[in-house]
């Protein structure tokens, strides 16, 4: 049995209250390890050490910070086979997807390294010759980062890259379901030369850890990736103590397939995107609006391709889709599918748990879905595609924008005017035109409406972790 411990000041330690919980392999449903919970004293120790780490790390010249983060990227790539296998064991995704995630995490560290070297200030001429104004950026302070289980390394890496690049210290609270991925990431940072006091990893009951850390005077910034309900609670807590937050929250992405597209080729492309990571992606395409002229052909091809997806353990070379991450996710998807079925939807393929062990759920396609079905209103976060027919573009756009989600949308048409019109109409932070993009380090990702606020990545990757000061010299 593996043991996953807290990592504070570069040292592993068990939580001082003696609380542990099991970590399960999603492919078998069996526990393969256990993770310790931080007690309040552990959290206080981590935060006090991070205050020291802030002073030490922010004093490192920006060029050297960049060198260290570049080195961490190289270390991640050297270890990607081992780290990828560990990720597959705890999260379930196919090994090739896990290894690709380690590579993307390395990309984020490199991007943070380069942006760290580009930190600049501005100098303004005052209103008279005796005055000069300097505008400076400074690290915001100690960062509390809360990260999820679906991309356990990459979603943490972009927070570490931004915070460390800006000169902050950071304490990450990952999901207990996937503890090893963030520990592997932070070990690479330590081995690269990041000061031990500048990075920490803690585990525990989410509500207990977040409430204690958000209200602590040592914490200056909160960043969270996860669901809308949890994001709202954390933002409310942070608001009480006037602490800035970055929130990347849930999505329920509409996909618009127009009549000028080849429906079979489009279906082939979208099946691959839909069932990556078993659909457990906030950017995953979920609600498919298909124009009537190509609807039937699109559905026929999409269903045929989805039914042929090879589902199995992520370590099996032939697996195209792994299990869901937990028994909780299997139940959530089952509930949504059964609700749709009971209300009259057609299950064109899938719709059931697979196998006698593990958290496998068949790739599922729903058609003829009534408007009141929960799956059209609640983020499915799993291997379920809901396909709808449309004739009226204006009504379809209204439906696509009708939810509180505003993370991403995808549209497929070769009509340039329609591309521009539909892209402009989507009330989301990311639009794919004949594409379903992932979050690369060089682009800023952020949600509209209740899908969050603030962005991560892009030219502004350091901005959430900086504060501004202007100094007037006379």
Is 141 within a domain? yes
pLDDT digits (tens, 9 = 90+) for 162-212: 999 999 999 999 999 999 999 999 999 999 999 999 999 999 999 999 999
Confidence label for 108 from pLDDT (cuts 50, 70 and 90): very high
- C-beta contacts of 419-426 below 8 A and 24+ residues apart: 422/256, 422/393, 422/397, 425/397, 425/401, 426/254, 426/397, 426/400, 426/401
Distance CA 313, CA 94 (A): 7
Residues 6 or more apart whose Cβ sits within 8 Å of residue 464: 140, 162, 221, 223, 244, 246, 454, 455, 456
SS3 168: coil
In 153-198, at which residue ranges do the beta strands (DSSP E only) sit? 169-173
Mark whether 282 is an active-site residue: yes
Cα-based distances in Å from 430 to 213, 272, 326, 458, 469: 31, 19, 28, 13, 31
Q: Are residues 208 and 289 in the same domain?
A: no
Q: Are residues 35 and 150 in the same domain?
A: yes
Question: What would the DSSP string read from start to end of 242-265?
Answer: T--EEEE----EEEEE-TTS-HHH
What pLDDT does residue 14 have? 98
Is 378 within a domain? yes
Q: Are residues 208 and 161 in the same domain?
A: yes
Q: Are residues 271 and 333 in the same domain?
A: yes
pLDDT digits (tens, 9 = 90+) for 276-331: 999 999 999 999 999 999 999 999 999 999 999 999 999 999 999 999 999 999 99
Percent of the chain with pLDDT over 90: 99
| CATH code for position 419 | 3.40.309.10
Do 139 and 119 contact (CB within 8 A), yes or no? no
Q: Are residues 359 and 425 in the same domain?
A: yes
| CATH code for position 164 | 3.40.605.10
pLDDT digits (tens, 9 = 90+) for 207-261: 999 999 999 999 999 999 999 999 999 999 999 999 999 999 999 999 999 999 9
Percent of the chain with pLDDT over 70: 100
Q: Are residues 242 and 373 in the same domain?
A: no
pLDDT digits (tens, 9 = 90+) for 32-46: 999 999 999 999 999
Is 439 within a domain? no
Query: 10 Å Cβ neighbour count for 176?
Result: 20
Do 64 and 72 contact (CB within 8 A), yes or no? no
Q: Are residues 224 and 346 in the same domain?
A: no
Distance CA 360, CA 10 (A): 37
Do 310 and 319 contact (CB within 8 A), yes or no? yes
Helices 95-116 and 80-91 pack at an angle, to 10 degrees, of 120
Q: Are residues 315 and 207 in the same domain?
A: no
Confidence label for 26 from pLDDT (cuts 50, 70 and 90): very high
Confidence label for 473 from pLDDT (cuts 50, 70 and 90): very high
The end-to-end CA distance of the chain, in Å, is 65
Is 444 within a domain? no
Confidence label for 388 from pLDDT (cuts 50, 70 and 90): very high
Residue 38 DSSP symbol: P
What is the domain range of residue 338?
253-433
> What letters, b where the CB count within 10 A reaches 16 and e where it falls short, cover 126-151?
eeeeeeeeeeebbbbbbbbbbbbbbb
Q: Which of 237, 248, 450, 456 is catalytic?
A: 248
β-pair type (245-248, 452-453) = antiparallel
Distance CA 45, CA 59 (A): 22
Mark whether 248 is an active-site residue: yes
Do 452 and 231 contact (CB within 8 A), yes or no? yes
The tally of domains found in the chain comes to: 2
What pLDDT does residue 347 have? 98
Q: Are residues 280 and 178 in the same domain?
A: no
CA 24 to mean position of chain CA atoms: 21
Distance CA 129, CA 416 (A): 53
Q: Are residues 354 and 396 in the same domain?
A: yes
Is 438 within a domain? no
Is 185 within a domain? yes
Mean of pLDDT over the chain: 97
Q: Are residues 98 and 233 in the same domain?
A: yes
For residue 125, list its beta bridge partners: 132
Residues 6 or more apart whose Cβ sits within 8 Å of residue 308: none
Phi and psi angles of residue 105, each rounded to the nearest 5 degrees, phi first: -60, -40
Is 13 within a domain? yes
Q: Are residues 244 and 331 in the same domain?
A: no
Query: 10 Å Cβ neighbour count for 112?
Result: 30
Is 442 within a domain? no
Q: Which of 97, 172, 282, 379 is catalytic?
A: 282
Distance CA 229, CA 207 (A): 12
């Amino acid at each position: 049995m593996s043991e996953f411990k807290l990592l504070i000041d570069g040292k592993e330690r068990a939580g001082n209250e003696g609380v542990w919980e099991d970590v399960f392999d999603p492919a078998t449903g069996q526990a393969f390890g256990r993770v310790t919970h931080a007690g309040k004293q552990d959290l206080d120790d981590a935060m006090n050490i991070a205050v020291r780490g802030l002073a030490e790390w922010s004093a490192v010249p920006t060029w050297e910070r960049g060198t260290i983060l570049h080195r961490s990227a190289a270390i991640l790539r050297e270890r990607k086979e081992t780290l990828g296998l560990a990720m597959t064991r705890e999260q379930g995704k196919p090994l090739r997807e896990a290894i690709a995630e380690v590579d993307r995490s390395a990309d984020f560290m490199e991007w943070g390294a380069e942006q760290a070297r580009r930190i600049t200030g501005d100098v303004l001429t005052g209103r008279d010759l005796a005055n000069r104004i300097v505008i400076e950026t400074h690290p915001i302070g100690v960062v509390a980062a809360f990260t999820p289980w679906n991309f356990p390394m990459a979603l943490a890496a972009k927070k570490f890259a931004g915070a460390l690049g800006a000169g902050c210290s950071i304490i990450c609270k990952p999901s207990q379901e996937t503890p090893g991925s963030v520990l592997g990431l932070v070990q690479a940072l330590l081995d690269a030369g990041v000061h031990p006091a500048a990075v920490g990893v803690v585990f525990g009951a989410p509500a207990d850890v977040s409430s204690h850390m958000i209200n602590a005077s040592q914490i200056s910034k909160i960043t969270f990736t996860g669901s809308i309900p949890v994001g709202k609670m954390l933002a409310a807590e942070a608001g009480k103590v006037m602490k800035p937050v970055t929130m990347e929250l849930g999505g329920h992405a509409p996909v618009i397939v127009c009549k000028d597209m080849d429906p079979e080729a489009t279906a082939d492309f979208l099946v691959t995107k839909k069932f990556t990571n078993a659909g457990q992606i906030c950017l995953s395409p979920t609600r498919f609006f298909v124009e009537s002229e190509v609807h039937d052909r699109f559905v026929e091809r999409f269903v045929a391709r989805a039914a042929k997806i090879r589902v199995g353990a992520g370590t099996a070379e032939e697996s195209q889709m792994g299990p869901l991450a937990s028994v909780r996710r299997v139940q959530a998807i089952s509930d949504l599918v059964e609700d749709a079925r009971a209300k009259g939807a057609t299950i064109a393929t899938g719709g059931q748990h697979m196998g006698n062990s593990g958290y496998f759920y068949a790739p599922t396609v729903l058609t003829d879905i009534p408007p009141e079905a929960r799956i059209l209103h609640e983020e499915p976060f799993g291997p379920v595609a809901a396909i709808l027919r449309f004739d009226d573009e204006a009504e379809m756009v209204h439906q696509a924008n009708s939810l509180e989600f505003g993370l991403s949308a995808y549209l497929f048409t070769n009509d340039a005017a329609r591309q521009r019109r539909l892209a402009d109409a989507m009330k989301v932070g990311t639009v794919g035109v004949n594409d379903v993009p992932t979050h690369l380090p060089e682009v800023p990702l952020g949600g509209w409406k209740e899908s969050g606020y603030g962005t991560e990545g892009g030219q502004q990757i350091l901005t959430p972790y900086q504060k501004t000061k202007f100094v007037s010299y006379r």
